Structure 1
Amino acid sequence: MQIQRKTLAQEVADRLIEGIINNDYPVGEKLPTEPELMKIYGVGRSSIREAIKILSIKGVLNVHQGLGTFVVSKNMQESLESQMDKAQIEDVQEVRSLLDSKIAAKAATNRSEDQLKNIKNYLDLRNTFAEENKILECYQADINFHIAIAEACGNILLKEIYKVASSHILRSFESRHNDTESFKISQAIHNSLYLAIQNRDAKNAAIIAQQIVDQIY
């Protein structure tokens, strides 16, 4: 599997956690404002907002609209990733399958040209590895294709949940040793999904994504 580097938002979240643990930001107190945090950590507004979302999900921060962001706990709730570690692969697969059509539709609406190129790159790699019968590389390219779509959907929470679920599914694939015939068969419908996203056809993208989930191809 590829090693993923931390985003700026995750690095800011880690620094905020350190500050909370060290009582730089005591429980019950309000965090500095967004402009102040941008100056403290030397990052843009989007990174600060995403970091706050990460820590809100983990039960550390609570955002009160119009009042500010407050520290509510030093103890992070069990992360989504650790919960998925304990889950059955079938449950993880179900989570991913429930998200696919929604993510594909949003990606068709929100994707950028660079994101579209990234999706196409993994689609082509998927085909190349399938033709060369490189099973693990093909699985990785397939997962990366779907993650690239999730990254283009424009919803941070959907993207993060999908990425965690997909990484766990890949781990189950790594113990399998068979051929890539199913990937060759499904390449055409994956290409159709790409074209729907390219054409900003959200309705068709959702339908095709669900067909891939249901293995109707």
Structure 2
Amino acid sequence: MPLGPLRPSPLVEQAVDRLRDQIAEGHWPVGSRLPGETTLAGTLGVGRSTVREALRALAGAGLVRPRQGAGVFVIATHPAEDRTTRLRRAAVADLYEVRMLIEVQAARLAAARRTEADIAALRTALDGRRTAARQDDAAFVDADVALHTAIVRAAHNPVLTDLFGDFGPALRDGLIDLVALLALREHDPDPGDASHSALVEAIERGDPDTAARLLHDELEQTLARLRQT
């Protein structure tokens, strides 16, 4: 690639941010035509080339679309997810489908087979999850996986325990991705505390149907959010 002149990227980025904010706030509704390059350049105090680059970036984000001879039109108020993010969502969704196959049945068995030692381990793991809520995402995910591991162990099925053990590393990576993709801890550092507490209580009192339902519903809700487009 031949060496060419530097692009004024900071100026372009500022123009993109300003135009994106205007679109998101409804200043130009979906379906409306943006002002021409000359008008935008004058409003933003930049050159037409900067405006042209900014519009190209907005088109790449799925916010606008140029129509030959007609101008540039708004087609969305929020950027479309890039391919990498869509693939991450799909991968985590696949992971959650496997979780449902393993963990819902494990919760049912745990409620029927748990011992006093299992109940103590579950309570300790639940407390650990709450403590980790004050830490970073990785620590919180590790504590969450520890609680679910304790549930699987309480099922007292060695094949199921080994299967979940092999699944653990992929689950951890998927959960860290999940927290980022859905911004799960943005407003609540301990998401799902109430449902996890209810799950532990159902296992403790020996209620297989409720334990299975609680875990199924929680995973299904997350799957639904992941599949939203």
Using structure 1 for the length normalisation, give the TM-score. Answer: 0.53
| Counterpart code for 1:140 | D
Partner of 2:110: 107
What 5-or-longer segments of structure 2 have no aligned partner? 1-90, 223-229
RMSD, matched Cα: 2.4
For 1:58-99, what per-residue CA distance to the aligned partner results, in whole angstroms no more than 9, with x for missing partners?
Answer: xxxxxxxxxxxxxxxxxxxxxxxxxxxxxx554333212222
State the shift of 1:166 in Å.
2.6
2: distance between equivalents of 1:92 and 1:108? 24
Q: How does 1:156-175 map to 2 (within 5 A)?
A: 156-174=158-176
- Once the two structures are overlaid, the 10-residue window that deviates more, 90-99 or 172-181, is 172-181
| 1:133 Cα deviation from its structure 2 partner | 3.9
Residue by residue over 1:24-53, the C-alpha shift from the partner in whole angstroms, topping out at 9 and shown as x without a partner, is xxxxxxxxxxxxxxxxxxxxxxxxxxxxxx
Question: Does 1:150 find its partner at 2:152?
Answer: yes
Deviating beyond 6 angstroms after TM superposition, the runs of 4 or more aligned structure 1 residues are none
The answer (yes or no) to whether the contact 1:135–1:179 under 8 Å persists in 2 is no
Rounded to whole Å, the distance in 1 between the matches of 2:214 and 2:156 is 19
Please list, as runs of the form range in 1=range in 2, the aligned pairs for 1:1-217 lying within 5 A after superposition: 90-130=93-133, 132-174=134-176, 180=185, 181=187, 184-215=190-221
What secondary structure, in the 3-state scheme, does the structure 1 residue paired with 2:191 have? helix
Superposed CA offset, 1:128-168 (max 9, x none): 111x1421111001001001100110211112112222321
Aligned residues: 129
- What amino acid maps onto 2:97 in structure 1? E
For residues 124 and 147 of structure 1, what CA distance do their matches in structure 2 show? 14
Task: Give the 3-state SS of the residue equivalent to 1:125 in structure 2.
Answer: helix
* Alignment-mate amino acid for residue 194 of structure 2: A
How far apart are the structure 1 equivalents of 2:105 and 2:189?
23
Assess if the C-alpha contact under 8 Å between 2:202 and 2:208 holds in 1.
yes
Q: Does the 8 A contact of 1:93 with 1:165 survive in 2?
A: no
Change in Cα spacing, 1:215 to 1:197, as seen in structure 2 (3 Å) is: same
Query: Any stretches of 5+ residues in structure 1 without a counterpart?
Result: 1-87
Give the conservation status (yes or no) of the 8 Å contact 2:96–2:219. Answer: no
The percentage of aligned residue pairs carrying the same residue is 25
Q: Which of the two has higher C-alpha Rg? A: 2
- What is the SS of the residue equivalent to 2:206? coil
Normalised TM-score (structure 2): 0.50
Contact 1:95/1:165 (<8 A) preserved = no
